[in-house]
Amino acid sequence: MKKYLCIFLCLLFSIINVQAVDFQGKAYIVMDSYNQTVLEGKNQDYVQSVASISKIMTAIVAIENGNLDDEYEIGEEVNQAWGSGVYIHIGDHINLRDLLHGLLLRSGNDAANVIAKNIGGDITTFVKMMNEKAQALKMTHTHFSNPTGLDEEDAGNQSTVYDMALLMSYCSQNSIFNDIVMKESYKREDGGGTWQNKNRLLKEYEYCVGGKTGFTKKAKRTLVTRAIKNDVSLVIVTFNCGNDFEFHQKKYEECFEKYQKILVLPKGIYQYHGHSFLIDKDLYYCGQDQTKATLQQDDDILSVYDSKDKIYQVQKENGIQTIFRYWLILLGEFVNG
């Protein structure tokens, strides 16, 4: 009898372990940040105010257009911010590095306005830069109206969990951005104290490597996080999820158990319809089963697909250029071990 009871309990626990994590909220998405493929989600194209996760875009535009050591004098722009702040004052001097940490760790609306004014020349121009970047990243359901995420005076910054996952996946390729968002705390270079990161998941979940929190009365809770385990890098975005930190952690564990990093196509020179194409890196996708890559040529562009998603595209080159570039890649790998 005990033997059958043990077998029954083992089967029961195995069923529980593979049960999907329940989602109570408006929208969510799980995206493979390596090639921006969607693993699962709900209401992925639902558009709403996204609150302070907007500051991910504020940060990457500043990082790509500014210098971390540049020091700014705080002006009247801080008086246009309310709510969450890092309490900088008119006449203070602070560099971009400190401001970015205040922006991403403490969600400082005052820091956002100072960054926007100094990077863009004025806040309006900076917001235009944010929208141009969104278009370049193909965030087709996104529009920014400010660098903070505040939405009391208008509809705020509008986006979807899909678009915000695209943005976070893009930002995860930037070493400066990653260095900031993975910090649990930061000591200001201007001697103004230490900031603690509002992203609790950094402390509560060992595989979390960054993210951004958000909340307004209109948007409710919004949260973007990223985690890496066994070379699988995932981004999760949630809208209006009351237990968002708990959901993110449980969903990561479910997905890391379910999916693995699978090689689709090794790097090398490929001949396709008489033309040479250099795939300059090993191509992977996040999935459950092995799949074969398929190739599709459109004029001078070769696209690589896994079972359903485009994961890479490359421009046609002449044969000598292709061989030379591939030789440099192999030489670099040899030198770097």
> Hey, which residues are catalytic here?
52, 55, 107
58, amino acid identity:
T
**Tally of CB atoms within 10 A around 230:** 10
Per-residue model confidence (pLDDT) at position 17: 46
Contact assessment for residue 80 and residue 242, using Cβ atoms and an 8 Å cutoff: no
The 10 Å CB-count burial string (b at 16+, else e) for 197-227 is bbbbbbeebebbbbbbbbbbeebbbbbbbbb
Please write the tens of the pLDDT for every residue from 285-327. Answer: 787 776 667 888 887 788 888 767 777 778 777 666 677 677 6
Q: State the pTM of this model.
A: 0.84
Cα distance between residue 81 and residue 148, in whole Å: 8
Q: Which two tokens stand for residue 82?
A: 């309310």
Q: Which two tokens stand for residue 100?
A: 């970015």
Cα distance between residue 162 and residue 170, in whole Å: 12
Cα distance between residue 218 and residue 135, in whole Å: 25
Per-residue model confidence (pLDDT) at position 199: 98
DSSP 242-294: TTHHHHHHHHHHHHHHH-EEEEEE-SEEEEETTEEEEE-S-EEEEESS----E
Q: Which two tokens stand for residue 115?
A: 């960054």
Distance of CA 308 to the CA centre of its chain: 22
Per-residue model confidence (pLDDT) at position 322: 72
Long-range Cβ pairs for the range 39-43 (8 Å, 24+) = 39/234, 39/255, 39/259, 39/286, 40/255, 41/161, 41/162, 43/161, 43/239
Contact assessment for residue 86 and residue 102, using Cβ atoms and an 8 Å cutoff: yes
Residue with tokens 């700014």: 72
Give 297's strand partners: 302
Cα distance between residue 215 and residue 270, in whole Å: 48
| Per-residue tens of pLDDT for the chain, all 337 residues | 444 334 333 433 334 444 678 999 999 999 999 889 899 999 999 999 999 999 999 999 999 999 999 999 999 998 888 888 898 999 999 999 999 999 999 999 999 999 999 999 999 999 999 999 999 999 999 999 999 999 988 889 999 999 999 999 999 999 999 999 999 999 999 888 999 999 999 999 999 999 999 999 999 999 999 999 999 999 999 999 999 999 999 999 999 999 888 888 888 888 887 778 888 888 777 877 766 678 888 877 888 887 677 777 787 776 666 776 776 667 666 666 5
Task: Report the largest interatomic distance among the alpha carbons of the chain, rounded to a whole angstrom.
Answer: 79
Rg, Å, the chain Cα set: 23
